[in-house]
Structure 1
Amino acid sequence: MDDATARARLQIMLAELDRSIGVLRGDPAAVRDRSAADAGLDLTDAERHQVMLDVASRQRVAVLAALKRLEEGVYGRCLDCGKPVPEGRLEARPEAARCVQCQSKRERRR
């Protein structure tokens, strides 16, 4: 994926995450502007609500980190082994910081 495409996809993801986080936090502007796809965010269970907010916040951090890697010229390189992250992985997860093998090792250690 070229840098311009990656940057555009990451910026769209960031805007969507910011909108979702705003809805989850009860920001009136975000609630007013949400789409039909966001209608499922009317949560009544406080724990589920918090989990969704945590997940969106973590993903937002990952997107910001990917944008930083783009600026630094290291986007698409695995943070652990330094090898290129496969194109298909970046297509599916533009914020991916690791190749599949290194990500799997990381998840097994948790």
Structure 2
Amino acid sequence: MDNATARKRLENTLAELDRSIGVLGGDPQAVWDRSGADAGSTLTDTDRNRAMLDVATRQRRSVLAALQRMDDGSYGLCTDCGRPVPAGRLEARPEAARCVQCQSKRERRR
């Protein structure tokens, strides 16, 4: 995948994430304005929305970092070892910052 195509995909993903974050962000006070009968499901919904918001926010940071790597010329190179990130990985995850081997090491450490 060429950089122009990757940039377009990243920009589209960023726009989608911004919309999702806007919807999920909502007004937290509205959660507490519901009746007591809804309190249990409200907390569950709030927790679920917060988790989805956290994931979307982390992914947004990854997309912005990938766009920055494009701007500075390091896109497609592993941020850990400097080797090229396989084209198939970038095709599947244009925001990928690491080669498969380095990403696997990072995940094992968690």
Q: What range is the shorter-chain TM-score in?
A: 0.7 to 0.9
Deviation, 1:26, is 2.0
2:38 alignment partner in structure 1: none
TM-score under structure 1 normalisation? 0.83
- Counterpart of 2:109 in structure 1 is 109
Structure 2 alignment gaps of length 5 or more: 28-43
Amino acid at match of 2:25: R
Helix, strand or coil: the match of 2:75? Answer: coil
Flag the structure with larger Rg.
2
Aligned residues: 95
Q: Provide runs of 4+ in structure 1 moved above 4 Å.
A: none
Within the alignment, does 1:3 sit opposite 2:3 as a pair? yes
CA distance in 1, matches of 2:95, 2:87: 12
- Tell me by how many angstroms 1:2 deviates: 1.1
Structure 1 residue identity aligned to 2:4:
A
For 1:65-76, what aligned pairs fall within 5 Å after superposition? 65-76=65-76
Identity of aligned residues (%): 76
Q: Provide the C-alpha distance between the structure 2 equivalents of 1:8 and 1:45, rounded to a whole number of angstroms.
A: 33
State how 1:41-60 maps to structure 2 within 5 Å. 45-60=45-60
In structure 2, the residue matched to 1:21 is 21
Matched, 1:85 2:59: no
Deviations 1:30-60 (A, max 9, x none): xxxxxxxxxxxxxx61111100000000000
- Residues 5-35 of structure 1 deviation map (CA, whole Å, 9 limit, x = unaligned): 11100000000000000010128xxxxxxxx
Q: What value does the CA root-mean-square deviation take over the aligned residues?
A: 1.4
1:33 corresponding residue in structure 2: none
**Structure 1: gaps of 5 or more residues:** 28-43
Superimposed CA distance per residue, residues 80-108 of structure 1 (whole angstroms, 9 cap, x where no aligned partner): 11000000000000000000110000010
Q: TM-score if structure 2 supplies the norm length? A: 0.83
